[in-house]
Structure 1
Amino acid sequence: MLSVRDLDVSYGDAQALDRVSFEVDEGSIVAIVGANGAGKTSLIRTIAGMIRPSHGSITFRGAEIAGWPSHRVCNLGIGQVAEGRQIFPTLTVGENLDMGALLPRARDKRATQLDRVFAMFPILEERLKQTAGTLSGGEQQMLAIGRCLMGQPDLVMFDEPSLGLAPAIVHEVLRTIRDLNREGLTCVVVEQNVAMSLKLADRAYVLENGRITLTGTGEELLADDRVRQAYLGM
């Protein structure tokens, strides 16, 4: 569904991604794990069209999209739940959800998607007219996911979905990602929480200093001594 080949990204003289390659099969959950500063967010933003790569290929369902503007990438069916939620804090919950449905691909099915979001997150319907900035961290994450779903994506990239959340809320977010995947949504999860991500993933990649250093199933990487020593403290 998504194929990244030999991707390079630089900020001036600093190289953020160095020949990164990975694949995402349709209907799967793929985890990209690594420490803070490994290049994970740069990778997500490059796929999303927010950063132009200096080299490499990004194909989505056979279409070469490297360098496309972000609005074209979104309308093709790639959604993003950004690090830190990135909701519009001065708008209401309802207005935030409406922003997600502005894509041409999503306009005709706004009502259907809204019902789906409310079924998944009933609290958002209760808070529909509440200013988004007054929501709790967990509720804001639900809103960020709901807003993304309003755009009718086929693949969603979750950038640090557990960041800043209480453990109980983290488990709720993970359950949501698993449920969405079971409904047919393809998911890419980018996380510092390595154990959590690997337990969730069908396939996983370790990103270190801008390079993919390990790959395998989630179970294989959980059992890998290098991963256990470097990220799990074992």
Structure 2
Amino acid sequence: MLRIEDIDVFYGDAQALDGVSLEVPEGAIVAIVGANGAGKTSLIRTIAGMHRPARGRILYRGADIAGWPSHKVCNLGVGQVAEGRQVFPTLSVAENLAMGAMLPRARAGREQRLESIYAMFPVLAERRAQAAGTLSGGEQQMLAIGRCLMGAPELVMFDEPSLGLAPAVVQAVLKTVRDLNRDGLTCVLVEQNVAVSLKLASHAYVLENGRVTLSGTGEALLGDDRVRRAYLGL
């Protein structure tokens, strides 16, 4: 569904990604793990059209979308739940969700999607008139996921969805990712909780200093001594 081929990304003279290649099969959860500053968010933003790679290809269903503007990438069916949630704080819950449905691809079926999101996250239905900035961190993360789903994506990139959340809320958010995948959504998961993300993922990649240094099934990487020492403290 998504294939990254040898992409390089720079911020000025600083190289953020160096020859990164990976594949995301349709229907899979693919995890991308690594330390802070490894290039994970740069990769997500580049796929989403927020950064232009200096070299390489980004193939989505066979079309090279490298360098496309982000609104065109979204309208192809590539969604993003950004790090830090990025809700519109002064807009209501309902208005935030409506913003997610502004893509041309999302106009048909908008009301049905809205009802399914309210069924998935009942607290959002209860607080639909409340300003998004007054929600708890967990509720804002639910809203960010719901807003992304309003765009009718076929692939969603989750960038650190558990960051800053209480442990019980983290479990609920990651369960949502698993449930969405079971319903047919292809997922890319960038997550600080390495053990949980590798358990969820069918395949995973380790990024270090902008390069892919390891890849394999989630289960295989979970048992890899290098991963266990570097990220699991074992």
**Shorter-chain TM-score tier:** over 0.9
Match in the other structure for 2:177 = 177
Match in the other structure for 2:168 = 168
CA–CA distance in structure 2, aligned partners of residues 135 and 106 of structure 1: 25
Asked if 1:39 corresponds to 2:39, the answer is yes
Asked if 1:30 corresponds to 2:30, the answer is yes
CA–CA distance in structure 1, aligned partners of residues 39 and 116 of structure 2: 33
List structure 1 runs of 4+ shifted beyond 6 angstroms.
none
CA–CA distance in structure 1, aligned partners of residues 58 and 21 of structure 2: 9
CA–CA distance in structure 1, aligned partners of residues 188 and 59 of structure 2: 15
Letter in structure 2 aligned against 1:165? L
CA–CA distance in structure 2, aligned partners of residues 183 and 108 of structure 1: 19
Alignment of structure 1 residues 75-114 onto 2, 5 Å:
75-114=75-114
Match in the other structure for 1:122 = 122
CA RMSD of aligned residues (A): 0.5
Match in the other structure for 1:233 = 233
Alignment of structure 1 residues 184-195 onto 2, 5 Å:
184-195=184-195
TM superposition shift of 1:229 = 0.4
CA–CA distance in structure 2, aligned partners of residues 182 and 191 of structure 1: 19
Match in the other structure for 1:13 = 13
TM superposition shift of 1:192 = 2.1
Gaps of 5+ in 1: none
CA–CA distance in structure 1, aligned partners of residues 13 and 102 of structure 2: 37
SS, match of residue 10 in structure 1? strand
CA–CA distance in structure 2, aligned partners of residues 196 and 176 of structure 1: 13
Asked if 1:151 corresponds to 2:151, the answer is yes
CA–CA distance in structure 2, aligned partners of residues 176 and 230 of structure 1: 27
TM superposition shift of 1:19 = 0.2
- TM-score normalised per structure 2: 0.99
Letter in structure 1 aligned against 2:112? T
TM superposition shift of 1:191 = 1.6
Match in the other structure for 1:210 = 210
TM superposition shift of 1:193 = 1.7
Gaps of 5+ in 2: none
- C-alpha distance after superposition, 1:127-179 (max 9, x if no partner): 00000000000000000000000000000000000100000000000100000
Letter in structure 1 aligned against 2:140? Q
SS, match of residue 108 in structure 1? coil
- Give aligned pairs, total: 234
- C-alpha distance after superposition, 1:14-36 (max 9, x if no partner): 00000000000000000000010
Letter in structure 2 aligned against 1:210? G
Match in the other structure for 2:69 = 69
Letter in structure 1 aligned against 2:48? A
